[in-house]
Amino acid sequence: MASNKLLIRDGQVYDHEGDVHKPAIADILIEDLDEDALRREVADLMRHFISDYDRVVESRKRALPHMLEAHRRVWQADIGMNRFIGRTR
């Protein structure tokens, strides 16, 4: 099944194969934005997110030392090459 996700960059719309498409909606201007309502909505959503995040962190405390030790051991092993990918060159 083909992906229906699109990437929008620099005013161009690309599909998963890199083909360029015409945007379905162009030149949208939002004139009226209730910033106070937006801030209230985000604050309300963050309360739930923070609560969920805190529960996840608490539930993972027992596993964290084991995961850190596994991470340390993986990076300690010499594999004969640089593990870092130069993405910023």
**Domain residue limits, the chain:** 36-77
Task: Tell me what pLDDT residue 1 has.
Answer: 34
Whether the predicted pLDDT of 47 surpasses 80: yes
> How would you write the chain as a 3-class SS string?
CCCCCCEEECCEEECCCCCEECCCCCCCCCCCCCHHHHHHHHHHHHHHHHHHHHHHHHHHCCCHHHHHHHHHHHHHCCCCCCCCCCCCC
pTM of full prediction above 0.75: no
Q: What is the pLDDT of residues 49-79, one digit of tens each?
A: 888 888 888 889 989 999 999 988 888 888 8
